Structure 1
Amino acid sequence: MTETVEIPQQDAASEETTDALSRLEQEGEIAADYLEGLLDIADLDGDIDMDVEGDRASVSIISDESRELQKLVGRDGEVLEALQELTRLAVHRETGERSRLMLDISGHRARKRGELVEIGDRAVEEVRAGGAPVKLRPMTPFERKVVHDAVKAAGLRSESEGEEPERCVVVLPA
Protein backbone atom coordinates (compact mmCIF):
# COMPACT_ATOMS: atom_id res chain seq x y z
CA MET A 1 0.00 0.00 0.00
CA THR A 2 1.33 3.42 -0.98
CA GLU A 3 0.81 6.29 1.38
CA THR A 4 0.33 9.76 -0.04
CA VAL A 5 1.73 12.61 1.97
CA GLU A 6 0.58 16.05 1.06
CA ILE A 7 3.15 18.78 1.40
CA PRO A 8 1.53 22.09 2.24
CA GLN A 9 2.08 24.66 -0.48
CA GLN A 10 3.25 28.13 0.46
CA ASP A 11 1.10 30.83 -1.01
CA ALA A 12 2.73 33.26 -3.45
CA ALA A 13 2.88 36.13 -0.94
CA SER A 14 4.61 33.94 1.63
CA GLU A 15 7.14 32.76 -0.96
CA GLU A 16 7.84 36.36 -2.02
CA THR A 17 8.40 37.36 1.61
CA THR A 18 10.75 34.42 2.15
CA ASP A 19 12.64 35.21 -1.08
CA ALA A 20 12.96 38.89 -0.16
CA LEU A 21 14.19 38.01 3.33
CA SER A 22 16.80 35.58 2.03
CA ARG A 23 17.92 38.15 -0.57
CA LEU A 24 18.35 40.78 2.16
CA GLU A 25 20.20 38.28 4.37
CA GLN A 26 22.49 37.54 1.42
CA GLU A 27 23.12 41.29 0.98
CA GLY A 28 24.02 41.50 4.67
CA GLU A 29 26.46 38.60 4.41
CA ILE A 30 28.17 40.07 1.33
CA ALA A 31 28.40 43.45 3.05
CA ALA A 32 29.80 41.87 6.23
CA ASP A 33 32.51 40.06 4.25
CA TYR A 34 33.42 43.28 2.43
CA LEU A 35 33.54 45.29 5.66
CA GLU A 36 35.59 42.63 7.48
CA GLY A 37 38.16 42.92 4.70
CA LEU A 38 38.13 46.68 5.05
CA LEU A 39 38.64 46.47 8.81
CA ASP A 40 41.56 44.09 8.29
CA ILE A 41 43.19 46.42 5.76
CA ALA A 42 42.73 49.42 8.09
CA ASP A 43 43.92 47.32 11.06
CA LEU A 44 40.80 48.23 13.05
CA ASP A 45 38.93 46.02 15.49
CA GLY A 46 35.20 45.76 15.26
CA ASP A 47 32.36 43.29 15.36
CA ILE A 48 29.82 43.18 12.57
CA ASP A 49 26.14 42.83 13.32
CA MET A 50 23.67 42.04 10.52
CA ASP A 51 19.92 42.50 10.57
CA VAL A 52 16.97 43.06 8.26
CA GLU A 53 14.96 46.17 9.05
CA GLY A 54 11.79 46.48 7.03
CA ASP A 55 12.73 46.25 3.37
CA ARG A 56 16.49 46.66 3.67
CA ALA A 57 19.53 44.93 5.04
CA SER A 58 21.22 46.66 7.95
CA VAL A 59 24.85 46.17 8.92
CA SER A 60 26.53 47.70 11.96
CA ILE A 61 30.17 47.83 12.97
CA ILE A 62 30.58 48.01 16.73
CA SER A 63 33.61 48.00 18.99
CA ASP A 64 34.59 48.44 22.61
CA GLU A 65 37.05 51.00 21.25
CA SER A 66 34.44 53.16 19.49
CA ARG A 67 36.90 56.08 19.34
CA GLU A 68 38.99 53.97 17.00
CA LEU A 69 36.03 53.53 14.66
CA GLN A 70 35.32 57.28 14.57
CA LYS A 71 37.77 57.42 11.66
CA LEU A 72 35.21 55.42 9.71
CA VAL A 73 32.41 57.82 10.62
CA GLY A 74 34.22 61.06 9.79
CA ARG A 75 32.97 64.60 10.21
CA ASP A 76 29.15 64.66 10.13
CA GLY A 77 29.13 61.03 8.93
CA GLU A 78 30.75 61.84 5.57
CA VAL A 79 33.10 58.84 5.67
CA LEU A 80 30.23 56.61 6.83
CA GLU A 81 28.15 57.72 3.82
CA ALA A 82 31.05 56.95 1.46
CA LEU A 83 31.62 53.52 3.04
CA GLN A 84 27.92 52.77 2.75
CA GLU A 85 28.04 53.54 -0.97
CA LEU A 86 31.17 51.41 -1.45
CA THR A 87 29.50 48.56 0.46
CA ARG A 88 26.37 48.88 -1.69
CA LEU A 89 28.58 48.69 -4.80
CA ALA A 90 30.27 45.55 -3.46
CA VAL A 91 26.84 43.98 -2.92
CA HIS A 92 25.74 45.07 -6.42
CA ARG A 93 28.88 43.53 -7.93
CA GLU A 94 28.05 40.18 -6.30
CA THR A 95 24.28 40.11 -6.81
CA GLY A 96 23.76 42.23 -9.91
CA GLU A 97 20.97 44.06 -8.09
CA ARG A 98 20.86 47.53 -6.57
CA SER A 99 21.14 47.47 -2.79
CA ARG A 100 19.46 49.79 -0.28
CA LEU A 101 21.63 48.46 2.55
CA MET A 102 22.11 50.72 5.58
CA LEU A 103 25.46 50.89 7.34
CA ASP A 104 25.97 52.13 10.88
CA ILE A 105 29.25 52.52 12.71
CA SER A 106 29.49 52.81 16.50
CA GLY A 107 25.80 53.72 16.68
CA HIS A 108 26.33 57.01 14.80
CA ARG A 109 23.33 56.56 12.52
CA ALA A 110 21.10 55.38 15.38
CA ARG A 111 21.94 58.49 17.42
CA LYS A 112 21.43 60.67 14.35
CA ARG A 113 18.03 59.05 13.74
CA GLY A 114 16.94 59.96 17.27
CA GLU A 115 18.04 63.59 16.79
CA LEU A 116 16.20 63.79 13.46
CA VAL A 117 12.98 62.42 14.94
CA GLU A 118 13.20 65.19 17.56
CA ILE A 119 13.69 67.80 14.81
CA GLY A 120 10.64 66.41 12.99
CA ASP A 121 8.58 66.40 16.18
CA ARG A 122 9.50 70.03 16.95
CA ALA A 123 8.57 71.07 13.40
CA VAL A 124 5.23 69.27 13.74
CA GLU A 125 4.50 71.14 16.99
CA GLU A 126 5.48 74.45 15.36
CA VAL A 127 3.15 73.81 12.40
CA ARG A 128 0.30 72.81 14.71
CA ALA A 129 0.82 75.91 16.85
CA GLY A 130 1.19 78.42 14.02
CA GLY A 131 -0.63 76.78 11.12
CA ALA A 132 2.09 77.75 8.63
CA PRO A 133 4.53 75.43 6.81
CA VAL A 134 7.96 75.00 8.42
CA LYS A 135 11.05 74.69 6.23
CA LEU A 136 13.97 72.79 7.78
CA ARG A 137 17.68 73.06 7.04
CA PRO A 138 19.16 71.17 4.05
CA MET A 139 19.57 67.45 4.74
CA THR A 140 20.96 64.29 3.19
CA PRO A 141 18.49 61.78 1.69
CA PHE A 142 18.81 59.59 4.83
CA GLU A 143 18.06 62.55 7.09
CA ARG A 144 15.08 63.65 5.02
CA LYS A 145 13.63 60.13 5.04
CA VAL A 146 13.79 59.95 8.83
CA VAL A 147 12.11 63.37 9.19
CA HIS A 148 9.41 62.49 6.61
CA ASP A 149 8.65 59.30 8.56
CA ALA A 150 8.44 61.20 11.87
CA VAL A 151 6.11 63.81 10.36
CA LYS A 152 3.89 61.12 8.83
CA ALA A 153 3.73 59.27 12.16
CA ALA A 154 2.55 62.51 13.79
CA GLY A 155 -0.29 62.79 11.25
CA LEU A 156 1.02 65.71 9.16
CA ARG A 157 2.40 65.96 5.63
CA SER A 158 5.86 66.88 4.43
CA GLU A 159 7.66 67.22 1.14
CA SER A 160 11.20 67.80 -0.03
CA GLU A 161 12.08 70.87 -2.02
CA GLY A 162 15.20 72.28 -3.62
CA GLU A 163 18.16 70.72 -5.36
CA GLU A 164 20.99 68.71 -3.81
CA PRO A 165 22.92 69.55 -1.71
CA GLU A 166 20.44 72.22 -0.54
CA ARG A 167 17.38 69.91 -0.61
CA CYS A 168 15.28 70.26 2.54
CA VAL A 169 12.06 69.08 4.17
CA VAL A 170 9.03 71.33 4.43
CA VAL A 171 6.47 70.30 7.06
CA LEU A 172 2.91 71.21 6.02
CA PRO A 173 -0.34 71.59 7.95
CA ALA A 174 -2.70 68.60 7.77
Structure 2
Amino acid sequence: MSESKSANEVEDNWDEEEATEESGSEESNTEEGASERDAAQGDAEEHYSTDDERSLSAHEFLTEVIDQMEMDCDVQLRRPSEEQSSDIRLEISGPDAGRIIGKRGQVLSALQFLCNRAQNRPGEERRYITVDAEGYRSRRDDSLATMARRLGKKAVTDGKIITFEPMNPRDRRVVHLALAKFEGVITKSEGDGDDRRVQIIPVKR
Protein backbone atom coordinates (compact mmCIF):
# COMPACT_ATOMS: atom_id res chain seq x y z
CA MET A 1 0.00 0.00 0.00
CA SER A 2 1.22 3.49 -0.79
CA GLU A 3 1.09 4.80 2.77
CA SER A 4 2.94 1.81 4.17
CA LYS A 5 6.66 1.96 4.80
CA SER A 6 8.70 -1.19 5.32
CA ALA A 7 10.54 -1.48 8.62
CA ASN A 8 13.37 -2.92 6.56
CA GLU A 9 13.73 0.45 4.79
CA VAL A 10 13.86 2.26 8.12
CA GLU A 11 16.14 -0.24 9.86
CA ASP A 12 18.20 -1.57 6.94
CA ASN A 13 20.02 -4.80 7.80
CA TRP A 14 19.08 -4.44 11.46
CA ASP A 15 20.57 -6.87 13.91
CA GLU A 16 20.90 -7.02 17.68
CA GLU A 17 24.16 -5.07 17.86
CA GLU A 18 22.99 -2.39 15.41
CA ALA A 19 19.79 -1.75 17.32
CA THR A 20 21.67 -1.40 20.58
CA GLU A 21 24.19 1.03 19.11
CA GLU A 22 21.57 3.17 17.35
CA SER A 23 19.19 3.57 20.30
CA GLY A 24 18.78 7.14 21.53
CA SER A 25 19.99 8.44 24.88
CA GLU A 26 16.59 8.04 26.51
CA GLU A 27 16.32 4.46 25.30
CA SER A 28 19.93 3.72 26.28
CA ASN A 29 19.23 4.96 29.79
CA THR A 30 16.17 2.75 29.86
CA GLU A 31 18.23 -0.26 28.83
CA GLU A 32 20.90 0.55 31.43
CA GLY A 33 18.21 0.75 34.07
CA ALA A 34 16.82 -2.56 32.93
CA SER A 35 20.28 -4.11 33.13
CA GLU A 36 20.71 -2.84 36.68
CA ARG A 37 17.32 -4.25 37.64
CA ASP A 38 18.21 -7.57 36.02
CA ALA A 39 21.45 -7.70 38.00
CA ALA A 40 19.64 -6.90 41.22
CA GLN A 41 17.11 -9.65 40.54
CA GLY A 42 19.77 -12.18 39.55
CA ASP A 43 20.30 -13.70 42.97
CA ALA A 44 16.57 -13.89 43.62
CA GLU A 45 15.99 -15.62 40.28
CA GLU A 46 18.69 -18.18 41.00
CA HIS A 47 16.71 -19.26 44.05
CA TYR A 48 13.28 -19.12 42.39
CA SER A 49 11.21 -22.19 43.18
CA THR A 50 7.62 -23.15 42.54
CA ASP A 51 5.21 -26.00 43.10
CA ASP A 52 3.45 -25.29 39.79
CA GLU A 53 3.20 -28.68 38.11
CA ARG A 54 3.32 -27.32 34.56
CA SER A 55 6.51 -25.38 35.27
CA LEU A 56 8.17 -28.37 36.92
CA SER A 57 7.12 -30.62 34.04
CA ALA A 58 8.59 -28.21 31.47
CA HIS A 59 11.83 -28.01 33.46
CA GLU A 60 12.10 -31.79 33.63
CA PHE A 61 11.32 -32.18 29.92
CA LEU A 62 13.97 -29.68 28.79
CA THR A 63 16.55 -31.15 31.16
CA GLU A 64 15.98 -34.60 29.66
CA VAL A 65 16.27 -33.26 26.10
CA ILE A 66 19.58 -31.54 26.85
CA ASP A 67 20.87 -34.69 28.54
CA GLN A 68 20.00 -36.64 25.38
CA MET A 69 21.93 -34.06 23.36
CA GLU A 70 24.93 -34.73 25.63
CA MET A 71 25.38 -31.03 26.34
CA ASP A 72 27.14 -29.83 29.49
CA CYS A 73 24.40 -27.47 30.65
CA ASP A 74 22.03 -26.87 33.54
CA VAL A 75 18.39 -25.75 33.34
CA GLN A 76 16.82 -23.41 35.86
CA LEU A 77 13.32 -22.04 36.27
CA ARG A 78 13.12 -18.25 36.24
CA ARG A 79 10.47 -16.01 37.75
CA PRO A 80 7.94 -14.86 35.10
CA SER A 81 7.37 -11.16 34.60
CA GLU A 82 4.35 -9.45 36.16
CA GLU A 83 2.93 -8.75 32.69
CA GLN A 84 3.11 -12.42 31.66
CA SER A 85 2.69 -14.07 35.03
CA SER A 86 1.35 -17.30 33.51
CA ASP A 87 4.43 -17.77 31.31
CA ILE A 88 7.04 -20.40 32.10
CA ARG A 89 10.65 -19.22 31.84
CA LEU A 90 13.54 -21.65 31.52
CA GLU A 91 17.19 -20.56 31.49
CA ILE A 92 20.05 -22.71 30.21
CA SER A 93 23.59 -22.12 31.45
CA GLY A 94 26.89 -23.93 31.31
CA PRO A 95 29.95 -24.59 29.13
CA ASP A 96 27.88 -25.71 26.12
CA ALA A 97 25.36 -22.84 26.26
CA GLY A 98 26.81 -21.32 23.08
CA ARG A 99 26.15 -24.54 21.17
CA ILE A 100 22.62 -24.60 22.57
CA ILE A 101 21.99 -21.11 21.18
CA GLY A 102 23.21 -22.02 17.69
CA LYS A 103 23.51 -19.70 14.71
CA ARG A 104 21.17 -16.72 15.24
CA GLY A 105 19.46 -18.65 18.04
CA GLN A 106 18.14 -21.37 15.74
CA VAL A 107 18.85 -24.29 18.10
CA LEU A 108 17.38 -22.34 21.00
CA SER A 109 14.24 -21.59 18.97
CA ALA A 110 13.89 -25.27 18.09
CA LEU A 111 14.12 -26.26 21.76
CA GLN A 112 11.54 -23.65 22.69
CA PHE A 113 9.18 -24.87 19.96
CA LEU A 114 9.63 -28.45 21.15
CA CYS A 115 8.89 -27.51 24.77
CA ASN A 116 5.74 -25.59 23.84
CA ARG A 117 4.45 -28.44 21.69
CA ALA A 118 5.19 -31.09 24.31
CA GLN A 119 3.87 -29.18 27.32
CA ASN A 120 0.73 -27.58 25.85
CA ARG A 121 -1.62 -30.48 25.42
CA PRO A 122 -5.17 -30.34 24.01
CA GLY A 123 -7.73 -29.42 26.66
CA GLU A 124 -5.23 -27.62 28.89
CA GLU A 125 -4.82 -23.89 29.36
CA ARG A 126 -2.06 -22.70 27.06
CA ARG A 127 1.09 -21.64 28.92
CA TYR A 128 3.74 -19.87 26.87
CA ILE A 129 7.21 -21.30 27.53
CA THR A 130 10.31 -19.17 26.95
CA VAL A 131 13.67 -20.93 26.70
CA ASP A 132 16.76 -18.73 27.04
CA ALA A 133 20.49 -19.42 27.30
CA GLU A 134 22.92 -17.15 29.12
CA GLY A 135 20.52 -14.21 28.66
CA TYR A 136 20.69 -14.36 24.84
CA ARG A 137 16.96 -13.95 24.28
CA SER A 138 16.59 -11.28 26.96
CA ARG A 139 19.21 -9.12 25.27
CA ARG A 140 17.70 -9.66 21.84
CA ASP A 141 14.17 -8.97 23.12
CA ASP A 142 15.33 -5.71 24.70
CA SER A 143 16.89 -4.62 21.40
CA LEU A 144 13.83 -5.61 19.38
CA ALA A 145 11.48 -3.83 21.81
CA THR A 146 13.66 -0.71 21.63
CA MET A 147 13.50 -0.77 17.84
CA ALA A 148 9.71 -1.28 17.94
CA ARG A 149 9.23 1.75 20.19
CA ARG A 150 11.48 3.86 17.98
CA LEU A 151 9.49 2.84 14.90
CA GLY A 152 6.30 3.52 16.85
CA LYS A 153 7.43 7.12 17.32
CA LYS A 154 8.25 7.34 13.62
CA ALA A 155 4.81 6.00 12.65
CA VAL A 156 3.17 8.68 14.80
CA THR A 157 5.41 11.46 13.46
CA ASP A 158 5.08 10.48 9.78
CA GLY A 159 1.47 9.33 9.99
CA LYS A 160 2.32 6.25 7.95
CA ILE A 161 1.99 2.53 8.51
CA ILE A 162 5.29 0.76 9.14
CA THR A 163 5.51 -2.91 8.20
CA PHE A 164 8.16 -5.24 9.56
CA GLU A 165 9.80 -7.96 7.55
CA PRO A 166 8.37 -11.45 8.25
CA MET A 167 8.98 -12.58 11.83
CA ASN A 168 8.57 -15.77 13.81
CA PRO A 169 5.70 -15.86 16.34
CA ARG A 170 7.94 -15.10 19.30
CA ASP A 171 9.44 -11.94 17.77
CA ARG A 172 5.99 -10.74 16.71
CA ARG A 173 4.85 -11.18 20.28
CA VAL A 174 7.76 -9.04 21.54
CA VAL A 175 6.77 -6.22 19.16
CA HIS A 176 3.08 -6.40 20.10
CA LEU A 177 3.89 -6.29 23.82
CA ALA A 178 6.39 -3.44 23.40
CA LEU A 179 3.74 -1.27 21.74
CA ALA A 180 0.66 -2.50 23.64
CA LYS A 181 0.48 0.70 25.70
CA PHE A 182 2.25 2.97 23.23
CA GLU A 183 0.13 6.07 22.66
CA GLY A 184 -0.87 6.85 19.09
CA VAL A 185 -0.40 3.44 17.46
CA ILE A 186 -1.90 -0.02 17.30
CA THR A 187 -0.26 -3.18 15.99
CA LYS A 188 -1.61 -6.12 14.07
CA SER A 189 -0.21 -9.15 12.30
CA GLU A 190 -0.81 -9.63 8.58
CA GLY A 191 -0.01 -12.48 6.21
CA ASP A 192 0.14 -16.24 6.54
CA GLY A 193 2.75 -18.77 7.56
CA ASP A 194 6.35 -17.72 7.09
CA ASP A 195 5.20 -14.44 5.49
CA ARG A 196 3.35 -13.22 8.60
CA ARG A 197 4.56 -9.79 9.71
CA VAL A 198 3.67 -7.00 12.14
CA GLN A 199 2.29 -3.63 11.12
CA ILE A 200 2.54 -0.49 13.26
CA ILE A 201 -0.51 1.62 12.47
CA PRO A 202 -0.85 5.25 13.59
CA VAL A 203 -4.28 6.15 14.97
CA LYS A 204 -5.96 9.50 15.35
CA ARG A 205 -6.16 10.74 18.91
Q: TM-score, normalised by structure 2?
A: 0.64
Distance 1:62 1:158 in 2: 34
Amino acid of the structure 2 residue aligned with 1:154: F
Distance 2:162 2:120 in 1: 38
Instruction: Give the superposed CA RMSD.
Output: 2.3
Distance 1:136 1:115 in 2: 15
Amino acid of the structure 1 residue aligned with 2:134: S
Identify the match of residue 53 of structure 2 among 3, 13, 26: 26
Q: Which residue of structure 2 aligns with residue 74 of structure 1?
A: 102
CA contact (8 A) 1:140 1:165 kept: yes
Distance 1:119 1:147 in 2: 9
Task: Indicate the SS of the match to 1:76.
Answer: helix
1:148 maps onto 2:179 in alignment: no
Query: Comparing 129-138 with 29-38, which one deviates more in the overlay?
Result: 29-38
CA contact (8 A) 1:160 1:167 kept: yes
Q: Which residue of structure 2 aligns with residue 35 of structure 1?
A: 62
User: Residues 21-170 of structure 1 correspond to what in structure 2 (within 5 A)?
Assistant: 25-41=52-68, 42-53=70-81, 54-63=85-94, 65=95, 68-92=96-120, 97=124, 98-155=126-183, 156-170=185-199
Amino acid of the structure 2 residue aligned with 1:85: F
Task: Indicate the SS of the match to 2:164.
Answer: strand
Distance 1:127 1:96, change over 3 A: closer
Larger radius of gyration: 1
Q: TM-score, normalised by structure 1?
A: 0.74
Amino acid of the structure 1 residue aligned with 2:170: F
Distance 1:78 1:115 in 2: 18
Distance 1:96 1:43, change over 3 A: farther
Distance 2:188 2:120 in 1: 30
Distance 2:190 2:60 in 1: 37
Q: How many residues align?
A: 148
Which ranges of structure 1 fall in alignment gaps of 5 or more residues? 1-21
Q: Which residue of structure 2 aligns with residue 15 of structure 1?
A: none
User: Identity, % of aligned pairs?
Assistant: 26
Amino acid of the structure 1 residue aligned with 2:55: G
Deviations 1:95-116 (A, max 9, x none): 9735422211221211121011
Distance 2:139 2:78 in 1: 18
Which ranges of structure 2 fall in alignment gaps of 5 or more residues? 1-49
Distance 1:60 1:141 in 2: 20
Higher relative contact order (CA 8 A, sep 6+): 2
Task: Indicate the SS of the match to 1:138.
Answer: coil
